Amino acid sequence: MPIRHHGPPTPESLQEFSRKAQEYVEHITDSAAKRFTLRYIEYLQSKAHGIATTEPAGESGVSMLDCRLIRNVLRNLYKESVVRRREAA
């Protein structure tokens, strides 16, 4: 599911995403799942800045179902924080 970009995000929207994503990470107790989550957050932040990067596919020790759930949660946080703010501007 590609995330479409329409210009650079505002610093405020990236801060909001980072804050929400950090809150999400704090509730993850599995170290492998936490690693994957942090990698996916970095991926979304890089994409927001227009940096070409490869989407993390998974993490050893984390089921594909769990990876899908983590991706969906982070994509939704990203959309709420960054994409919708761009559309409102």
Is 6 inside any structural domain?
no
Is 44 inside any structural domain?
yes
With a pLDDT cut of 90, the percent of the chain lying above it is 67
Q: How far is residue 82's CA from residue 78's CA, in Å, rounded to a whole number? A: 6
Q: How far is residue 12's CA from residue 18's CA, in Å, rounded to a whole number? A: 10
Please name the residues in contact with 68: beta carbons below 8 A apart, sequence gap of 6 or more.
none
Structurally, the chain folds into a number of domains equal to: 1
Is 18 inside any structural domain?
no
Is 59 inside any structural domain?
yes
**Taking residues 46-72, what's their average pLDDT?**
93
Q: How far is residue 21's CA from residue 34's CA, in Å, rounded to a whole number? A: 11
Structural domain including 35 reads 31-88
Q: How far is residue 49's CA from residue 25's CA, in Å, rounded to a whole number? A: 21
Is pLDDT above 70 for 58? yes
Read off the pTM.
0.84
Is 21 inside any structural domain?
no
Is 14 inside any structural domain?
no
**Taking residues 15-22, what's their average pLDDT?**
94
pLDDT in tens, 23-54: 999 999 999 999 999 999 999 999 888 899 99
Q: Which long-range contacts (CB under 8 A, 24 or more apart) does 52-60 make?
A: 59/32, 59/33, 59/35, 60/32
